[in-house]
Amino acid sequence: MWIAGRCLKLYYYKTKSREVKESFVPGIELIKRADDFGQRTAVEDWTGSFTYADLLDVSRFAALNLLGDEKDLEGKRVVFLVPPGFEYVALKLGVWMAGGVSVPLGIVHSPREIEYVIKDSCAETVVFHPDLAHRLEGFSPDAGVRFRKLPEVFRPARGELPGISEERRAMIIYTSGTTSKPKGVVSTHLGIKAQINSMTEAWKWTPEDSILNVLPLHHLHGILNVVLCCLWSGGRCVMMDGFNAREVWERFKEKDLTLFMGVPTIYSKLIDLWDDFSAGERKRMKDCLLGFRLMVSGSAALPVSVLEKWKEISGQVLLERYGMTEIGMALSNPYRGERLPGRVGFAMPGVEVGIFDENGSRLGVEEQGEIRMRGKGVFLEYWGKPRETESAFCDGWFKTGDIAFLERGGSYRILGRESVDIIKSGGYKISALEIEEVLREHPLIEECTVVGITDPSWGERVGVALVLREGLSIDLEELRGWASDKLARYKLPTRLLLLPSLPRNSMGKVTKNRIKQSFQNSL
């Protein structure tokens, strides 16, 4: 879908960039390091292969075009709607070189969700890929938002770039939580650097590494763990246009990859396809997988059955780690040493982790409580939400809202979440409150409540219990159709329960655990 005309255009950038060489002033360390990797391949996508020198040249053009007559974007937000690939990476670095804050949008999000991010982040500029223009249709921007289409921002340009101090804000990632609307998690360049340092040390990244990215690039997992760790290390990032199990198996056959990272659902879908392979194909595929030095799972709990099946298939013991958009990676099974099934391991380098009771007292081994962490990689703030930022911390520790158990050997086991309003489906965090707020707009719905229903492949699925206005009816497909221009498709309920009334406790609060149970019983 993204291919039309791109190969030619990128060839043009490359040729032109050779003609406009001038002194290059790197700002943040990531860019300085990229400068050292020169002719090594940085990114490979379906349009071709790009060296670090190409990446820096094109990023610089992006920076200069974004700057226009300004000397420094001084933290202005540049929102972008660009599919994973070379252009995405070049734009991200370009925003940073110009002194801007990068705000990546999900290509799966609905126009309404996209409009929310543009407005909430008080964006100055929105850069979009032409194939995604329809997502912005009907958007009535507040005065001052400038829309720019690719490849216009990559036009060859000359000029000086600002010096960027690493204390500055670098990125805002929108993440759902216990509020109905997603919050913008702000990281500084220093915070990002601390997260990268921690991961590259723990998982021993080197310039010889090649990683396949199939993850979306508006969330931490794909952006930090895959793309930025790779660029920091001088490795090669092979980008796919999203996840497709068959294409991933095909790509593995080329035997040139050393690393793979995914959410448990991705491994589960790869396993489903494996089951269809012939004995000969399986033998060949196993051979290809043995060449990986590391395969990582995270963003949701890895079922032990998936870990075991993947080991049987590939000979690889998946390394499970635990993280969060606000903190980066906090816990990891060891790179060398035993990886324990159902455990998320030990504190990552430079990270302090503890479990605490509801009074804020630190607990010890063989106790369970909320997992809290501190370290240089922790986010700066929720964008424009000082109260929410303050209440996310206690005595300098970030409160994750996840419940964990500290084992005698020092390894952590994640037991669940404090909030029933957060759903994790296929690694995406979904707010039940956000979906409820949208569904309440439906003219037939009297009351509704949304819950996560345990699912072996997705981790959880979105279920909705509805009370309809008297004498009316609706089915799941109608409801999904109605909501599909308001919510990303992965947030749409896939299970529906019609009830005469919602169960409530003595305080009048809907008892979501009873609803979950009803769904479970109905399956």
Per CB under 6 A, residues contacting ligand MLC are 215-216, 219-222, 242-243, 263, 265-266, 269, 298-299, 323-325, 425-428, 458, 489-490
Least Cβ distance, residue 404 to ligand MLC (angstroms) = 14
Torsions phi, psi of 50, nearest 5?
-130, 130
Residue from 324, 340, 448, 479 in contact with ligand AMP (CB under 6 A): 324
In three-state form (DSSP H/G/I as H, E/B as E, the rest C), the secondary structure along 64-100 is: HHHHCCCCCCCCCEEEEECCCCHHHHHHHHHHHHCCC
At residue 493, what is the residue type?
A: P
DSSP 8-state secondary structure symbol assigned to residue 277: S
Least Cβ distance, residue 319 to ligand MLC (angstroms) = 13
Q: Which is nearer to ligand AMP, 210 or 325 (CB)?
A: 325
Alpha-carbon dihedral angle through residues 406, 412, 415, 417, given to the nearest 10 degrees: 100
d(CA 453, CA 459): 8
406 counts as binding ligand AMP under rule CB under 6 A: no
d(CA 296, CA 199): 12
User: Using an 8 Å Cβ cutoff, are 196 and 226 in contact?
Assistant: no
Q: Which is nearer to ligand AMP, 192 or 448 (CB)?
A: 192
Token pair, residue 32, equals: 């300085």
Token pair, residue 62, equals: 């992006």
Pick the stretch among 142-150, 275-283, 292-300, 466-474 that binds ligand AMP (CB under 6 A).
Answer: 292-300
User: Using an 8 Å Cβ cutoff, are 446 and 469 in contact?
Assistant: yes
d(CA 61, CA 98): 10
Q: What is the DSSP string of 177-245?
A: -SSSS-EEEEEEHHHHHHHHHHHHHHTT--TT-EEEE-S-TTSHIIIIIIIIHHHHHT-EEEE-SS--H
Pick the stretch among 7-15, 163-171, 281-289, 298-306 that binds ligand AMP (CB under 6 A).
Answer: 298-306
State the binding partner of 400 from ligand MLC, ligand AMP, none, CB within 5 to 8 A by kind.
ligand AMP
List own/partner pairs for 413-417 with CB under 8 A and 24 or more apart. Answer: 413/342, 413/343, 413/344, 414/301, 414/322, 414/344, 414/371, 415/368
- Report the candidate in 53, 44, 334, 428 with the shortest Cα–Cα distance to residue 212: 44
Token pair, residue 27, equals: 């700002």
Least Cβ distance, residue 340 to ligand AMP (angstroms) = 12
State the binding partner of 141 from ligand MLC, ligand AMP, none, CB within 5 to 8 A by kind.
none
* Of residues 160-189, those binding ligand AMP (CB under 6 A): 175
Residue from 339, 372, 417, 486 in contact with ligand AMP (CB under 6 A): 417
Pick the stretch among 24-32, 248-256, 316-324, 333-341 that binds ligand AMP (CB under 6 A).
Answer: 316-324
299 counts as binding ligand AMP under rule CB under 6 A: yes
Q: Which is nearer to ligand AMP, 289 or 296 (CB)?
A: 296
State the binding partner of 135 from ligand AMP, ligand MLC, none, CB within 5 to 8 A by kind.
none
Pattern 336-355, binding to ligand AMP, x per CB under 6 A? Answer: --------x-----------
Least Cβ distance, residue 489 to ligand MLC (angstroms) = 3
User: Using an 8 Å Cβ cutoff, are 82 and 129 in contact?
Assistant: yes
d(CA 451, CA 519): 9
State the binding partner of 320 from ligand AMP, ligand MLC, none, CB within 5 to 8 A by kind.
ligand AMP
320 counts as binding ligand AMP under rule CB under 6 A: yes
d(CA 424, CA 407): 24
Strand partners, 45: 48
Q: Which is nearer to ligand MLC, 102 or 325 (CB)?
A: 325
- Report the candidate in 515, 509, 510, 470 with the shortest Cα–Cα distance to residue 495: 515
Q: Which is nearer to ligand AMP, 318 or 448 (CB)?
A: 318
State the binding partner of 344 from ligand AMP, ligand MLC, none, CB within 5 to 8 A by kind.
ligand AMP
d(CA 31, CA 320): 30
Q: Which is nearer to ligand MLC, 244 or 316 (CB)?
A: 244
Pattern 426-465, binding to ligand AMP, x per CB under 6 A? Answer: ---x------------------------------------
Least Cβ distance, residue 324 to ligand MLC (angstroms) = 5
Q: Which is nearer to ligand AMP, 156 or 177 (CB)?
A: 177
Q: Which is nearer to ligand MLC, 66 or 451 (CB)?
A: 451
Pick the stretch among 210-218, 248-256, 293-301, 437-445 that binds ligand AMP (CB under 6 A).
Answer: 293-301
Least Cβ distance, residue 329 to ligand MLC (angstroms) = 7
d(CA 332, CA 349): 10
Residue from 325, 332, 333, 411 in contact with ligand AMP (CB under 6 A): 325
Q: Which is nearer to ligand MLC, 398 or 428 (CB)?
A: 428
Least Cβ distance, residue 265 to ligand AMP (angstroms) = 12
Q: Which is nearer to ligand AMP, 175 or 188 (CB)?
A: 175
Say if strands 183-188 and 146-149 run parallel, antiparallel, or are unpaired: unpaired
Site residues, ligand AMP (CB under 6 A): 175, 220, 298-301, 320, 322-325, 344, 400, 402, 414, 417, 424, 429
